[in-house]
Amino acid sequence: MSDEREESKEIVETPSRRSMRSGFDSLFDSFRRDFDDMMNFWWPTPSSIMRPTGIRPALRVGYPMSDLEDKGTHYELKADLPGLSKNNVDIKVTNDSIEISGKQEEAKEEESANYLLRERRWTSFSRSYGFPDEVKPSEAEAEMKNGILHVKLPKKEPTKEEVHKVKIK
């Protein structure tokens, strides 16, 4: 009987912690990539901007990458808008902010009556920026050159505060 027991014993190998960890990591790698691609649509990271995803090829992120600089007498805004024409961009300026919005619609169709492929793409964005000092909205200037929007926003002259001394009765 003891011989039968010895013959029926099987050797069972348990996975090491390292192999279990790498197994779980590879299981979730695809999930992480898909989740990152989905979230980067709205909140891009610098590494995701450089990685092609196939999502929104005209604008790879949910809003344009931009620079806002204080030049002393005016603010200067530069926004990357590749693939957009100036006719598809809208700029609204108030005393203390600017809003840039845009849209792009593209339809590409094969001309056969029984086409098997039809591609459409639609992209839109809206982004607002605030200023620490007031600007002159009516004097703002904008220019679009090589897919980059340049906006110059002159600052209002600072008003001098009126100081009035009050006598105590």
Tell me: the pLDDT tens digits for 109-141?
556 556 666 666 677 888 899 988 899 999 999
Which residues does the chain have with pLDDT short of 50?
46-61
What global pTM score does this model have? Answer: 0.54
d(CA 52, CA 37): 10
Residue 17 is predicted with a pLDDT of: 58
Residue 95 is predicted with a pLDDT of: 92
Residue 52 is predicted with a pLDDT of: 46
**Domain 58-154, CATH 2.60.40.790 — does that match?**
yes
CB contact set of 40 (below 8 Å; sequence gap of 6+): 48, 53, 61
Q: Where are the domains of the chain?
A: 18-55, 58-154
Look up residue 21 and give its two tokens.
């960890």
